[in-house]
Amino acid sequence: MSCPATERLSAFIDGDLARAEAEATRTHAAGCARCTAALSDLGALVTAARGLDSPEPPPTLWMSLDGALARAERPSWLASWSSWRPFAAGALVGAAALALALIVLPGGRGTHPLEAPATAVAVAPTVAPDPLLEEAEAEFARAGASYERSIEKLRGLLEREEKGWSADERARVADRLAGLDDLIARSRELARQTPGDRTGNEQLFAAYQQKIAFLAAAVHRGGVWSDQRP
Amino acid sequence: MRMRRFSLLVLGLAAAPAAAWAAPEGGDAALVDRREIVIPARAAELVRIDNLLGRVMVRGTSRAGEIHVIAEKHAPSAEALGRLRVHYTAFESGEVAIDTRVELGGRERSLPLGGSGVDLVLEIPADVAVEAKTFGGDVSAQGLRAGAKLETTGGKIGVSDVRGGVVTHQLRGGQKLAAVEGDVDLDGVEGDMDLRDLGGGRVDARVVDGSIRAEDVRSGFVRLVTTTGEIVLIGVIRPAAHYDLRSYAGDVRVVPVGDPAPFTLRARSASPVAASFPLRASRRDGEWLRAEYIGRRAPVRARTALLELSSTLGRVIIQPRTAAELR
């Protein structure tokens, strides 16, 4: 699989890809530093967006959107309202989100900063952490610790094996492990930035699995590039 | 893609009276809500189950055209119970997706939880393929006729009476397979594997920290690999079959049943190979021993099996069961 386009990676982070494509993207990204970095950046963007204040829309916003839609002439190609209702609802939500974004994002195109958000920021209540979210993060952390333990165990075995290797072999293995460590660090950062999202953690686990597979193969071969099996 | 989306078992606080207090396996009392539903699935070819919130048990049935789901939610409070959801989506492509979610921050998310969860028991038409994923919960498949792909982070994996390929991925928990007619590909990091009565063309099992015991494997290619555990293969050595058994730290033991087919042995171990069969033409090739077993009553032109046995730190043993073991 070649590197997915940025919008596909973005859809992956949002959980909008079909299962097969998401799986393929996850597998690809686990072995691609470029895509892992892109995912990390996108994850940071999502986190930053979540960090924006989300003031309640003015009570009149929904009514005005609803009224505007009601006044609009129904297009001739819209054969059945009922069959399009879900999309219309989505459009309404999208429009509301857009309106909110225009209100919230400073310097939004065609808009002027409003005075109200400053007040809203000042009085925005602190949201208490959700205990269920903490439970979920704890579960992911436990699994991560299990992977780390297995890696430590394999590291110990590898150190024993490495004693009989050439300096060149040791350097090549160390180099590969450094790359995998980098992948894990990036994936961990992505997971940290997106709490409550399984995608980041699955990316991290895929990176752990890659390292475990490499370590196990290196230990078994007793020298990665010198398998003497007849 | 057109699809029909249904939401089932959306349990809110209003449904709490239907729930009951019970003590789950963990010991602590929990509020439990159990629902059953029948999903029409006349054209179903694949059922995907994604349940990070608990266990999944799938049973194949002869009842065609419907999927019977029992969902049992448990949580320490009605508020938490009301945030657990089970959904299914039937695609026109023939795929039925069933997943569980928890409501967090106004969104439904697929996440594992420690104190709350959803266990699923599904009865599906036997000729439908199954893919199931859990996080901490056990996952099992039984009586299927189109194979299964099972994945879990911390649950046990169990497969029995299945035709078709079986693929597993697991972090820890252990795996048991019995009576499988199809290719088998097993992957685990921590936990033992117990394999019995496998009849597909290929068995490939890998685990880092655990032992593998395989009995009555009739496949033409058998590869069993562990890093820290031991490997035991018990059964008939079949003509022309290829057995590749490797452990880094544990023993590798083959226990032939009956008179084995003639085989070529390639073996590597920390100590001399222990074999109770007359091996001929033994020679060393680097750290590998190469030898032949021609069989006691080998028919003329019998096809030779290949046994590749390797234990870096342990022993390689080829011998029948002892009398004590037989008893």
pLDDT in tens, A201-217: 999 999 999 999 999 99
Q: Which helix (H) or strand (E) holds A230?
A: none
Residues of chain A positioned with their CB less than 8 A from the CB of B112: 136, 139-140
B281 touches chain A (CB under 8 A): no
Is B52 near chain A, with CB under 8 Å? yes
Q: Residue A175: CB partners within 8 Å, gap ≥ 6?
A: none
The count of residues in chain B is 327
- Chain A residues with CB under 8 Å of B190 CB are 146, 150
Same domain, yes or no: B63 and B212:
no
Q: Cβ contacts (< 8 Å) between A146 and chain B: which residues?
A: 154, 171-172, 189-190
Of B118 and A47, more confident: B118
Beta bridge pairs of residue B57: B121, B140
**Residue in A198, A212, A229 nearest the CB of B110:** A198
Residue of chain A nearest B208, judged by CA positions: A216
Print pLDDT tens along chain B (327 aa).
444 444 443 333 223 334 455 555 544 558 999 999 999 988 899 999 999 999 999 999 999 899 999 999 999 999 999 999 999 999 989 999 999 999 998 899 999 999 999 999 999 999 999 999 999 999 999 999 999 999 999 999 999 999 999 999 999 999 999 999 999 999 999 999 999 999 999 999 999 999 999 999 999 999 999 999 999 999 999 999 999 999 999 999 999 998 888 999 999 998 989 998 888 878 888 889 999 998 776 565 668 999 999 999 999 999 887 666 665
Which chain B residues have a beta carbon less than 8 Å from that of A139?
111-114, 135-136
The last residue of a domain, from among B135, B166, B183: B135
| B137: closest chain A residue by CA | A139
Sort out which chain A residues have CB atoms less than 8 A from B114's CB and list them.
135, 138-139
Q: Give the model's pLDDT for residue A43.
A: 64
Question: For residue B298, what pLDDT is reported?
Answer: 55
Name which of B48, B104, B154 is nearest A133 (Cβ-Cβ): B104
Whether residue B209 and residue A157 make contact (CB cut-off 8 A), yes or no, is no
Q: Are residues B205 and B325 in the same domain?
A: yes
- CB contact under 8 Å between B225 and A220, yes or no, is yes
Which residue of A135, A142, A154 is in closest CB contact with B115? A135
Alpha carbons B152 and B170: distance in angstroms, whole number: 5
The nearest alpha carbon in chain A to B1 belongs to A18
Nearest CB to B113; choose among A135, A154, A197: A135
Q: Are B240 and B310 in the same domain?
A: yes
**A97 vs A137, which has greater pLDDT?**
A137
What average pLDDT score do residues A94-109 get? Answer: 40
Cβ-Cβ pairs closer than 8 A, A with B, add up to: 94
Picking from B135, B155, B187, the residue at the C-terminal end of a domain is B135
Task: Evaluate if residue A136 carries a pLDDT over 50.
Answer: yes
In 10 A of CB B115, how many CB atoms? 17
Q: Are residues B291 and B184 part of one domain? A: yes
pLDDT of A37 > 60? The answer is: yes
Closest residue, chain B, to A20 (C-alpha): B48
- Range with top average pLDDT, A53-62, A178-187, B286-295: A178-187
Q: Are strands B66-75 and B117-125 parallel, antiparallel or unpaired?
A: antiparallel
B39 domain-assigned? yes
The reply to whether A179 touches chain B by the CB within 8 Å rule is no
Does residue A147 or residue A125 have the better pLDDT? A147
CA distance A208 to chain B (A): 10
When CB atoms are compared, the residue of B171, B286, B290 closest to A143 is B171
Averaged pLDDT for residues A190-194: 90
Q: Are residues B128 and B197 in the same domain?
A: no
Residue B49 at interface with chain A, using a CB cutoff of 8 Å: no
Contact between A147 and B288 using a beta-carbon 8 Å cutoff: no
A107-111, A163-167, B149-153: which range is least confident on average?
A: A107-111
Full domain range(s) for residue B73: 1-135
Q: Are strands B202-209 and B221-226 parallel, antiparallel or unpaired?
A: parallel
B153 touches chain A (CB under 8 A): yes
Rounded CA gap, B262 and B295, in Å?
5
Residue B88, classed as helix, strand or coil, is strand
Q: Which of A157, A198, A219 sits opposite B52 (nearest CB)?
A: A198
Cβ-defined contact of B248 to A157 (cutoff 8 Å): yes
Domain assignment present for B206 = yes
Q: What pLDDT score was predicted for residue B282? A: 83
B189 touches chain A (CB under 8 A): yes
Q: How far apart are CA A134 and CA A132, in angstroms?
A: 5
Would you put residue B91 in left (φ > 0), alpha (ψ -120 to 50) or beta?
A: beta
Q: Please report the residues numbered 54 through 113 in chain B whose beta carbons come closer than 8 angstroms to any beta carbon of chain A.
A: 80, 83, 97, 102, 104-105, 109-113
Q: What's the angle, vertex CA A38, arms to CA A33 and CA A42, rounded to 5?
A: 150
0.90 exceeded by pTM: no
- Smallest CA–CA distance, residue A110 to chain B, in Å, is 30
Round to whole Å and give the CA distance between B226 and B253: 13
Query: How far is A211 from A151, CA to CA, in rounded Å?
Result: 8
What integer is the mean pLDDT of A62-68? 46
Q: Does A54 touch chain B (CB under 8 A)?
A: no
How far A150 CA sits from the closest chain B CA (Å)? 7
Residues of A (157-176) whose Cβ lies below 8 Å from B: 157
For A40, B124, B129, B279, B316, the CA distances from B276, given in Å and listed in that order, are 58, 48, 44, 9, 12
For residue A75, count other CB atoms closer than 10 A to its CB. Answer: 8
Q: What pLDDT is attached to residue B299?
A: 60
Q: Is residue B164 part of a domain?
A: no
Q: B266: distance to nearest CA of chain A, Å? A: 8
What is the reported pLDDT for B125?
A: 97
Res B247: pLDDT = 96
Cβ contacts of B310 within 8 Å, gap of 6 or more: A229, B245, B246, B247, B252, B267, B268, B269, B316
Cβ-nearest to A157 among B206, B227, B287: B227
Residue A15 has pLDDT above 80, yes or no: no
Q: What's the pLDDT score for residue B140? A: 98
